Amino acid sequence: MTLQNQHILIGITGGIAAYKICELIRMFKKSGADVKVIVTPNALNFVTKLTLQNLSQNDVYEGEFTPKNWKPEHISLADWADIMLIAPATANTIGKIVQGIADNLLTSVACAFSKKMIIAPAMNCNMWQNVAVQNNLNILEGRGVEILPPDNGFLACGYIGKGRLCSLEKICSAVDEALNYQQILKGKKVVITSGGTIEDIDPVRYISNYSSGKMGLSLAKTAYDMGAEVVLVTTKDVEAPYKVTKVKSALDMQNAVNNEYDGSDIIIMAAAVADYRVKNYSEQKMKKGGNENLTLELVKNPDILAELCKKRQAPLPNPLPQGARENKIIVGFCAESENLIENAKEKISKKGCDFLIANDISRKDIGFGSDNNEVTIFDKNGGINKLEKASKQVIARKILEYITNE
């Protein structure tokens, strides 16, 4: 970990894990960082101001109305910091940040903070599982805040479960990666699709698939962190700091991607697009009547990936439309339940994309709905690179690094 001259602002809230942050400060200082600490009033029930001052070699900030210069404390601290870490983060503070409640110095700084923020929650396991807490965390993630989930173990309240502050090593690694992350996509526009398309049968029925959209969302978050201008075209409800276009059907998705095509540098088709749609949509709910069987006539949906690749091969207009970009990278995804290598090789040749990411959906521990994945990257020149099982966020980073380094 190398954090020489980096400015790290740590917010400590009122939880028993507050004492662990003393060692975390020491680790950051040892790596060369300049550390400042904000505490909530309740945090001082678990750790003293003098201890934090000695370890950080800086003043410890608690009151909101004690500025030492003309600039209000919460603004000057937000401007000073390169990153803000809140650890441990209580359910109370998390809820306040979500709602924009700025009733103490820490929440005021969080409200004014526009750079990278990492939150490491710690609380009773039942509080962690509370629907309101989980909804708040999902909202923060949607806004670009990185959440480091707590670990399982024995809790100070006597319970055993998920609620312990995650390891200091994990926190250090997340801060190090955030501060030293290579902005390899700065100046690039990346269009990503995610989720499973929905093809209506009638007002109450539809054809779809099991795609959760998590892989596409991980790619969008990671591309954004890498400095890209991101457009996420998705069938899911997503709150994000980048542009999100909500679509439903394959045709909707095709139109949305085509609208972004000219100005894009990279297009990643991670969505699970339905191969077929109903030929004759019924405006009224279909009645079963006395029929034992129902036959639906299906028609093929456009192959969005193949048509994008075909469009790229067409001669470019001269002059180029304003904002249009050349030399696009087009990436496809495929889900296979058997003969993954053979099927993927055939598909990349047929579709004409630069890369094809193949998922093995026969495995229950990866793929649809899972937070983990294991994929194989095929490139147009015949190269094959397998990415071993990891979180979808890690897989997303490796995919983006791989396709931009070729």
Q: Which two tokens stand for residue 404?
A: 């931009």
- Strand residue runs (E) in 90-226: 116-121, 146-147, 151-154, 160-164, 189-194, 199-202, 205-207
Nearest C-alpha neighbor of 373 from the set 386, 398, 355, 391: 391
Is there a contact between 216 and 193 (Cβ–Cβ < 8 Å)?
Answer: yes
Angle at 78 between CA 72 and CA 84, to 5 degrees: 145
Is there a contact between 7 and 33 (Cβ–Cβ < 8 Å)?
Answer: yes
d(CA 192, CA 230): 8
Q: Which two tokens stand for residue 13?
A: 């809230």
| Residues making up the chain, counted from first to last | 406
From 22, 125, 157, 309, active-site residue: 157
d(CA 113, CA 105): 12
Is residue 22 part of the annotated active site? The answer reads no
CA atoms within 13 A on the CB side of 106: 31
Is there a contact between 387 and 376 (Cβ–Cβ < 8 Å)?
Answer: yes
d(CA 378, CA 394): 18
**Could you list the active site residues?**
157
